Amino acid sequence: MRKKYYLPRICVVTAMAAGLTLSASAQQKNIYHKGWIDFNKNGKMDVFEDPSQTIDKRVADLLSQMTVDEKTCQMATLYGYKRVLKDEMPVANWKNEIWKDGIANIDEELNNLTSHTDDAPTQYSFPFSKHASAINTVQKWFVEETRMGIPVDFTNEGIHGLNHDRATPLPAPISIGSTFDKQLVRQAGQTVGREAKALGYTNVYAPILDPARDQRWGRVVECYGEDPFHIAEMGKQMVLGIQEEGVASTLKHFAVYSVPKGGRDGAARTDPHVAPREMHQVYLYPFRRVIQEAHPMGVMSSYNDWDGVPVTGSYYFLTQLLRQQFGFNGYVVSDSEAVEYLYSKHHVAADYKEAVRQAVEAGLNVRTNFTMPQTFILPLRELIKENKISMKVIDSRVGDVLRVKFRLGLFDSPYVKDPKAADKIVHTADDAAMSLKMNRESMVLLKNEGGLLPLDKKRYPRILVTGPLAKETNYAISRYGPSHNPVTSVYDGLVNYMGNDGVIVYAKGCDMIDATWPESEIIETPLTHQEQIEIDNAVNQAKNVDVVIAVVGEDVDRVGESLSRTGLNLPGRQLKLIQALQATGKPVVMVMINGQPLTINWENKYVPAILEAWFPSVQSGQVITETLFGDNNPGGKLPITFPKTTGQIEFNFPFKPNSQASQKGQNSWGKTSVNGALYPFGYGLSYTKFEYSNLVVSPEQENSEGDVQVSVDVANTGARAGDDVVQLYLKDEVSSVTTYEYDLRGFERVNLKPGEKKTVRFTLHPDDLALLDKNMNWTVEPGKFMVMIGSSSEDIKLKKEFDVK
């Protein structure tokens, strides 16, 4: 039986310690006592108010005292100020609002998000201490002015760093995935959790565990990559880091969400066509592993269906899989509008009220949408009154929410203890250093012909920086991350770095897109007069410099939520700019800022050096410049396959035996397709060289319930210090069902000085060897397994077999 997991109980604080000014009613009733709070204001310490009682007893006691109105209010989200909530601070009219009986959570409250869709300026986001005090004021209203005084769970997004004004920014999740650095991801999670706690947030919507298997999908930028094991390992560390700080982590998006059929999600969102075994092995694997090994307190249900059944209305997904099989014991919140979609998109409910019934019966705890909470709560109350939902179900759903609030310590310490401390806790110098390190580690070197990189200041003192992203910064600010941090563009980074040692010349070269894009991807139009002038200007500038740095790719309007693409070439006229620059004969370095793999075939063939920067964070210009000049040796690896053409999609790792045309001759008999990856999963170059030796597998015979130890030596045989990601792949040689050709089952990022050698160790657990048998049970079958060590999924260096008896 799995051991129950609880965060350490947060110590009880008095109102005085929280620095609060009590309302007249609260003072009169004196609800704050030494060691406990009289939430229901009855003058005695009830079981649910007693910190010495077990959480289950406290939940049961609280439920027994709650009315139907109070219970249903614990099943809805109130979106924060400017999204739904119209008041920055509590007002008298709140006594007439539905949340007079409480609320489950308030999302993105006073975070001062800057976004195309959800701009929400507020005076209370900064200084950080002002926000912590403001959250205390809102929380105080719910504790003191509602009958039962149930505290609010303050939720917020956090996949790029905490979604708050001037919090510590992280690069995009696809960049985080490229680091392959588990320890650093754990540290980033701790930063997110600590900052959330200091600012008054108690629940962070992160990480995203969806495998990005279709490179056209706009949200590739928000995922760790395509491989389920890699995602599970990175996601586990993010959850552990967040929750170690006393804040809940809520996983996104459960489940089978990341499959936009034909890249056509848009308003229709997703339409997954995934077989059951593939669903468990690929799309559910990261959720199962992270839930069982890191015990997140939250899960967000997705708004897609699977095999005709919407996930948010599915008892199989939300109860059987999530709770009974995976052991999840937190609460499930819906993705925005997921409940409504049962009626409006999927049409499995005749009206919205029936959609509410289906979702609650399936296992949903809390509904979230950009509408007032009563749009969900009132139909729910009608269903209860009509006996269409039992109180047993309601008590179970509300109990899950309350249990998380108890685990978070909200009934012992509902307020930020020291609001002033937030100014010293959030976005510290150490946090900035961590963010900078993560940006550096996310850089992936794709090509370096003739050792053009790293650049030498003395050899290349005159530099042309060009391209639509040379001075752009919008990619560094995400809808789901911090706002208002100053951003260093690539141009500024180069100017700052070169100083008086060289000359930086700028020419934009072209815009991000042309007038008819994306139609121009299928019907090309001639260059306009102005476009020709821009390219000619860049070419003329190139003639007078020593090297050209072209910064190309995608901006925030070209990739992201509901921004899937039909083509994956560089948008607009960017390839024409690259071709014109290459024709000058001057060395061209192509820096890619983008959120998804791009089909840069011509560029890869003819441009000598290509650096993949993904969507870096606010230090982008500094980090890219450091990498180009060798102060940062790129050690990142691709967490997702780069196809040569969208015609190959789906094309990703892992894959089934003989499923690739190139595996059996040239497309078997006819040469009708372009085969192979442009860059495979796990690929990435370095400015130094690494060698592998001494692969040891112990024991070489093992039973199905034991661990297998693997070690390998890796040495830096080059002249520069650098990082390598040692990758372990596992092949089940004969199995009762078809398994993947080989699976990633271990990776470690190591830093090595020139001439240094380290031994890298892995432990293979039975779960790493397991397959889903014919009866859909996870089983370790006897037989031979092959351990393979490589520097990418295609560059395998060493192999060794072992037997399972």
Which are the catalytic amino acids?
335
SS3 377: helix
The radius of gyration of the chain's CA atoms, rounded to the nearest angstrom, is 27
CB 446, CB 612: distance < 8 Å: yes
DSSP letter string, 302-328: PS-EETTEEGGG-HIIIIIIIIIIT--
* Size of the chain in residues: 805
CB 614, CB 442: distance < 8 Å: yes
CB 644, CB 718: distance < 8 Å: no
Q: Which two tokens stand for residue 690?
A: 């690494």
SS3 548: strand
Q: Which two tokens stand for residue 757?
A: 């050698």
The half-sphere exposure of 39 on its side-chain side, counting CA atoms within 13 A, is 28
Residues 6 or more apart whose CB falls under 8 angstroms from that of 288 comprise 325, 326
* CB atoms closer than 10 angstroms to residue 108: 25
CB 141, CB 97: distance < 8 Å: no
CB 612, CB 452: distance < 8 Å: no
Q: Rounded to an integer, what distance in angstroms lies between the CA atom of residue 64 and that of residue 67?
A: 8
CB 129, CB 419: distance < 8 Å: yes
Residues 6 or more apart whose CB falls under 8 angstroms from that of 532 comprise none
Give the Å distances, CA to CA, from 234 to 230, 248, 434.
6, 17, 16
Edge-first strand order for the sheet with 743-752 is 701-702, 796-804, 783-790, 722-732, 743-752
Cross-strand partners of 779: 771
Residues 6 or more apart whose CB falls under 8 angstroms from that of 47 comprise 53, 57, 58, 60, 61
Which residue, among 632, 682, 750, 714, has the nearest Cα to 183 in the 3D structure? 750
CB 201, CB 156: distance < 8 Å: yes
Q: Which two tokens stand for residue 500?
A: 């008086």
Residues 6 or more apart whose CB falls under 8 angstroms from that of 424 comprise none
Q: Which two tokens stand for residue 702?
A: 């093992």
User: Distance between the two ends of the chain, CA-based, in angstroms?
Assistant: 26
Whether residue 116 has a cis bond before it, omega within 30° of 0: no
Burial of residue 16 (number of CB atoms within 10 Å: 0-12, 13-18, 19+): exposed
Q: Rounded to an integer, what distance in angstroms lies between the CA atom of residue 677 and that of residue 673?
A: 12
SS3 182: helix
Please give the distance of CA 328 from its chain centroid, rounded to a whole number. 20
Please give the distance of CA 171 from its chain centroid, rounded to a whole number. 10
Long-range own/partner contacts, residues 34-41 (CB < 8 A, 24 or more apart): 36/12, 36/412, 37/12, 37/143, 37/149, 37/411, 37/412, 37/414, 38/149, 39/143, 39/148, 39/149, 39/150, 39/411, 40/65, 40/147, 40/148, 40/149, 41/147, 41/149
Please give the distance of CA 571 from its chain centroid, rounded to a whole number. 25
Q: What is the DSSP letter of 371?
A: S
* CB atoms closer than 10 angstroms to residue 637: 29
Identify the H or E element spanning 77.
strand 77-79
